[in-house]
Amino acid sequence: MEFDYRTIKLLLNDPFEKVAKIVINRPDKFNALNSEVIRELDLAINEIEYRKKEIWAVIVTGAGEKAFIAGADIAEMVKFTPPEARYFLHSAQQMLNRLENLPMPVIAAINGFALGGGLETALACDIRIASDNSLIGLPEVTLGIIPAAGGTQRLTRLVGVGTSKYLILTGAKLSASRALSLGIVNEVVARDKFDEEVERLVKTILKMGPVALSAAKTSIQTALDENLRAGLELELDKAVECFQTQDLREGMNAFLGRREAEFKGK
Ligand code: COA
């Protein structure tokens, strides 16, 4: 099933069952994020939230051969007054918060340039897989601005203050392998094998019980927002929730019976 947007595509169960795929679709502008893309991404997230029982994983990627997302749309931003800039960046932050807080795993399939708002989008995803031709960074200061769709916050939480300052203050554009060595992406794969490697990753995730995945994701997220005591309490509650599911019995019995588990999301 495909939804009708102008600047993005949302595909459900295509190419994989139980998966939603969001494609930023402005290849002639290297998928730069303008206000319309942000609005449509918000609508796509609504749709995914509404169908959360049937969607077990989400892929975010860019159209075309060159770019994942080459950043916020500079041609649009150059005209912003300060209040317009605040509105745009606030919308982008809110949309990325919603993406990050989706209950199922979200995979950034980085197929080329992931710069500025592109990397910020990827940082709001749970797992990042990049093709080996990708170029990754937050070069905003080279334009006289700063990463403000969560970049200064999420990159710092991911890689620490030292590396975050180094990357943001130099505006460095990293190769995929350097981004891997710094922990910014989780896997780098050859461009010509990219689609099949994304498929392998997604299929690995789809083998798991979705209730457990969601519980794990929420618990990990809490580690960033809460102190250890509150995080441990939530982790405990989420684990007990898993004990209320058929999936947990299925997973454990499958292990004991030496067979593959078949999870139902119940
Ligand atoms: N905003 C608006 N348009 C962008 C864009 C952005 N962030 N990034 C790329 N584009 C557009 C270019 O204007 C060009 O469009 P045109 O053909 O209509 O002129 C098209 O995408 C291709 O980009 P181009 O610069 O010609 O390709 P390149 O291969 O020479 O360079 C990049 C690719 C990604 C290195 C270069 O486009 C770039 O540096 N983009 C900006 C990255 C950035 O600073 N992002 C942070 C923004 S906050």
As a whole number of angstroms, the distance between CA 83 and CA 101 comes to 27
Q: Do 45 and 123 share a domain, yes or no?
A: yes
Q: Do 129 and 214 share a domain, yes or no?
A: no
Q: Is the pLDDT of residue 14 over 90?
A: no
The string of pLDDT tens digits covering residues 64-102 is 999 999 999 999 999 999 999 999 999 999 999 999 999
Counting residues of the chain whose pLDDT is more than 90, the rounded percentage is 96
Predicted TM-score of the model (pTM): 0.96
Q: Which residues pair with 110 in a beta bridge?
A: 130
Q: Examine residue 89 and state whether it is found in any structural domain, yes or no.
A: yes
Q: Do 54 and 149 share a domain, yes or no?
A: yes
Q: Distance from the CA of 251 to the center of ligand 1, in angstroms?
A: 47
Ligand 1, atom 44: closest residue by C-alpha: 139
CATH code assigned at 230: 1.10.12
Q: Examine residue 144 and state whether it is found in any structural domain, yes or no.
A: yes
Q: Do 142 and 214 share a domain, yes or no?
A: no
Q: Which of 168, 185, 206 is the last residue of a domain?
A: 206
As a whole number of angstroms, the distance between CA 34 and CA 49 comes to 23
Query: What is the total count of domains within the chain?
Result: 2
Q: What is the gyration radius of the CA atoms in the chain, in angstroms?
A: 19
Counting residues of the chain whose pLDDT is more than 70, the rounded percentage is 100
Q: Do 184 and 217 share a domain, yes or no?
A: no
How does residue 3 score in pLDDT terms, banded at 50, 70 and 90? confident
Q: Examine residue 266 and state whether it is found in any structural domain, yes or no.
A: no
Instruction: Find out whether 183 and 159 touch, Cβ atoms under 8 Å.
Output: yes
Q: Which residues pair with 58 in a beta bridge?
A: 20, 106
The string of pLDDT tens digits covering residues 30-73 is 999 999 999 999 999 999 999 999 999 999 999 999 999 999 99
Please tell me the predicted confidence (pLDDT) of residue 202.
97
How does residue 1 score in pLDDT terms, banded at 50, 70 and 90? confident
Ligand 1, atom 2: closest residue by C-alpha: 73
Q: Examine residue 192 and state whether it is found in any structural domain, yes or no.
A: yes
Q: Which residues pair with 131 in a beta bridge?
A: 189
Q: Examine residue 83 and state whether it is found in any structural domain, yes or no.
A: yes
End-to-end CA distance of the chain: 24
Instruction: Find out whether 230 and 236 touch, Cβ atoms under 8 Å.
Output: no
For 234, the token pair is 């939530």
How does residue 15 score in pLDDT terms, banded at 50, 70 and 90? confident
Please tell me the predicted confidence (pLDDT) of residue 13.
93
Q: What is the β-pairing status of strands 106-110 and 67-69?
A: unpaired
Ligand 1, atom 19: closest residue by C-alpha: 29
As a whole number of angstroms, the distance between CA 72 and CA 150 comes to 13
Domain hosting residue 15, numbered range = 2-206
Chain centroid to Cα 226, Å, comes to: 21
Please tell me the predicted confidence (pLDDT) of residue 6.
96
Q: Do 98 and 19 share a domain, yes or no?
A: yes
Q: Distance from the CA of 28 to the center of ligand 1, in angstroms?
A: 9
Q: Examine residue 19 and state whether it is found in any structural domain, yes or no.
A: yes
Closest to 37 (Cα-Cα) out of 114, 151, 118, 113: 118
Find the residues whose C-beta lies inside 6 A of ligand 1: 29-30, 32, 70-75, 113, 115-117, 139-140, 143
Query: Cα angle at 156 between 117 and 108, to 5 degrees?
Result: 45
Q: Is the pLDDT of residue 246 over 90?
A: yes
Closest to 234 (Cα-Cα) out of 248, 221, 243: 221
